[in-house]
């Protein structure tokens, strides 16, 4: 044990020395290496047999930067930051400058920008307009549905409820993202199916090959309501997990249903075409809180590994969406270290996906749905802890942290009123009075609200594999769907590819014929 500590400390010292180099040669070597890397980039114009999209929910550029520093220092690069192609996505929705996850995920996965708080329906559907959402013309077809139509496998992994805002646009059409189960659907909208029922009963939900995440309460009726006003508890007496099993059995399909680490590790991936794993009543716990024992819940990497093993059984290819949703949850609570630790865990899942796939036939994308109001402040020394004190303010001489939020909940609003004689003033709590490196610490926010809220900035998108070069500048967020469709030759894009290929072939034959005849 002592030798391990010595090695760890030695590596820390070595990293500190290397990361703090400031000589001219160090900077020139960094730039030279990047230039050589850039000169090796070539376009991959193979068909994307497989597509994997990682969505770091709420993982704005500052979260990525903080994750980089957290994992290796300022000069470090995350694995997806080494991808050869990247761009920016504009995240505004059809009706809001600053969006939510339901409308941004819908844009990513359906190719159309829609209204905030709606799922998989176009912008003619206002929030709670059940009747309009039933109109087939308003319903949008997702990348998962397109993949299934093309004969591919499709599925998703999430650290959230499987009925939550990011995964639901893959299979559902709803006028309200909150209609995750029957208990939240108002009496006036009873003709609209809740999102959980759409997952189990309707296409493409019932044909998804992989469904991994949380949300047992939305799927299985329970007499006990959750204390969380956002969390729907099923009340119609139905057990949709059992209905999932019966559906697969009635169709003679090979399936597995798992509920914990032991079951996920032991199911027979070689004899499973449909995998459902529900590991929590609501969202999965944060990665640092998870029980690693057999009865505990899996990491995001564990779920990704199982998903790919099942999906790659389809020789035609597959589509997989992976959501690191607890990045967003932690930001909403003002717990920046937890959010960044979740971001770091998602990067490990990206590494695993890279190891399990081939860039010649797999388009792998890492992006986000929206930002948060996280800021990186002050002038902290290079090599210092990203979660530590930046400096005292020159205005009030009170310490503040490197990370802070623009808008936050009660725990992040660290101001108090102080009265001295006839004078009353507002003062800020000194951050150095707390352990700012704790997972429980709430970074300060300038404006108080019920919780930390989303930002409206652009998000980064990184891509590797076939047609990754289509992500190359500032794009509309819904462009992702169209680029993926083109890369994978799915739907109308397949026709466009065929036409283009035919045109090139005909032109080549024509030129060849003319050359032959000219020689004669």
Residues annotated as catalytic (active site), given as ranges: 101
Can you spell out the DSSP letters for 315-335? TT-EEEEEEETHHHHHHHHT-
Closest by CA position to 489, among listed 146, 55, 139: 146
DSSP annotation of 143: H
Residue ranges in 20-127 assigned as alpha helix (H): 24-39, 61-72, 101-110
Provide the 3-class DSSP secondary structure of residue 461.
strand
DSSP string of 360-391? Answer: TTEEEEEE-S-EE-EEE-S-PPTTS-TTSEEE
Cα separation, 110 vs 30, in Å, equals 40
Q: Rounded distance, CA 59 to CA 66, Å?
A: 10
Locate the DSSP E strands across 41-131: 50-56, 85-90
The answer for 154, left when phi > 0, alpha when psi is -120 to 50, beta otherwise, is: beta
Q: In the chain, what is the straight-line distance between the N-terminal and C-terminal CA atoms, in Å?
A: 83
Check: CB of residue 359 under 8 Å from CB of residue 51. Answer: no
Could you give the CA distance from residue 48 to residue 311 in angstroms, rounded to a whole number? 15
List C-alpha distances in Å: 269 to 293, 298, 312, 323. 21, 16, 10, 22
How far is residue 331's CA from residue 101's CA, in Å, rounded to a whole number? Answer: 14
Q: Which residue has the tokens 């409308």?
A: 103
List Cβ neighbours of 196 (8 Å cut-off, separation of 6 or more).
Answer: 163, 180, 181, 215, 218, 219, 234, 240
Q: How far apart are CA 172 and CA 194, in angstroms?
A: 9
Residue 177: partners with Cβ closer than 8 Å, 6 or more residues away: 100, 101, 102, 117, 118, 119, 165, 168, 195
Contact between 157 and 321 under an 8 Å Cβ cutoff? The reply is yes
- The answer to whether 119 touches 169, Cβ cutoff 8 Å, is yes
How far is residue 13's CA from residue 15's CA, in Å, rounded to a whole number? Answer: 5
Nearest to 287 by CA among 239, 339, 211, 225: 339
Is the CB of residue 96 less than 8 Å from the CB of residue 116? yes
Retrieve residue 481's tokens: 């769907």
Question: Residue 75 burial (CB < 10 Å; 0-12/13-18/19+)?
Answer: middle
**Which two structure tokens, joined as six digits, stand for 188?**
């006036």
């Amino acid at each position: 044990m002592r030798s391990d500590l010595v090695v760890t400390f030695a590596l820390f010292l070595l990293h500190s020395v290397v990361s703090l180099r400031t000589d001219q040669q160090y900077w020139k070597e960094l730039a030279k290496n990047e230039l050589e890397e850039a000169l090796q980039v070539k376009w991959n114009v193979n068909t994307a047999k497989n597509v994997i999209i990682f969505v770091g929910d709420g993982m704005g550029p500052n979260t990525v930067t903080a994750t980089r520093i957290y994992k290796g220092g300022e000069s470090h690069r995350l694995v997806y930051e080494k991808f050869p192609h990247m761009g920016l996505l504009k995240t505004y929705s059809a009706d809001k400058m600053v969006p939510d996850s339901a409308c941004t995920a819908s844009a990513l996965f359906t190719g159309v920008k829609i209204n905030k708080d709606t799922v998989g329906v176009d912008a003619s559907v206002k929030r709670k307009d059940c009747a309009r959402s039933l109109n087939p013309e308003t319903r949008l077809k997702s990348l998962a549905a397109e993949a299934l139509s093309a004969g591919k496998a499709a599925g998703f992994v999430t650290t959230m409820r499987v009925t939550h805002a990011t995964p639901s646009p893959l299979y559902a059409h709803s006028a309200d993202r909150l209609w995750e189960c029957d208990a939240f659907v108002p009496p006036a909208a009873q003709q609209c199916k809740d999102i959980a029922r759409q997952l189990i009963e309707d296409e493409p939900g019932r044909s998804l090959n992989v469904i991994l995440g949380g949300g047992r309460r939305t799927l299985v009726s329970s007499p006990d309501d959750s204390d969380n006003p956002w969390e729907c508890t099923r009340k119609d007496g139905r057990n949709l997990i059992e209905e999932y099993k019966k559906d697969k059995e009635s169709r003679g399909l090979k399936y597995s249903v798992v509920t914990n680490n032991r079951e996920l590790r032991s199911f027979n991936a070689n004899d499973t075409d449909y995998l459902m794993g529900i590991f929590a009543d609501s969202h999965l716990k944060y990665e640092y809180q998870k029980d690693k024992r057999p009865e505990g819940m899996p990491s995001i990497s564990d779920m990704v590994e199982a998903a790919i093993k099942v999906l790659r059984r389809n020789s035609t290819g597959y589509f997989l969406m992976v959501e690191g949703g607890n990045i967003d949850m932690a930001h909403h609570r003002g717990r920046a270290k937890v959010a960044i630790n979740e971001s770091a865990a998602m990067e490990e899942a990206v590494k695993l996906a890279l190891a399990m796939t081939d860039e010649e036939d797999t388009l792998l994308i890492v992006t986000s749905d929206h930002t948060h109001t996280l800021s990186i402040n002050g002038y902290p020394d290079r090599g210092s802890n990203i979660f530590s004190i930046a400096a005292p303010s020159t205005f009030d001489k009170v310490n503040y942290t490197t990370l802070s939020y623009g808008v936050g909940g009660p725990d992040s609003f660290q101001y108090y009123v102080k009265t001295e004689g006839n004078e009353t003033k507002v003062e800020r709590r000194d951050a150095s009075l707390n352990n700012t490196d704790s997972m429980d610490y709430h970074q300060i926010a300038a404006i108080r609200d019920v919780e930390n809220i989303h930002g409206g900035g652009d998000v980064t998108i990184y891509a590797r594999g076939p047609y990754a070069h289509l992500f190359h500048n500032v794009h509309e967020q819904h462009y992702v769907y169209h680029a993926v469709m083109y890369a994978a030759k799915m739907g109308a894009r397949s026709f466009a590819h065929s036409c283009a290929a035919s045109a090139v072939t005909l032109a080549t034959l024509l030129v060849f014929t003319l050359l032959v005849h000219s020689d004669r």
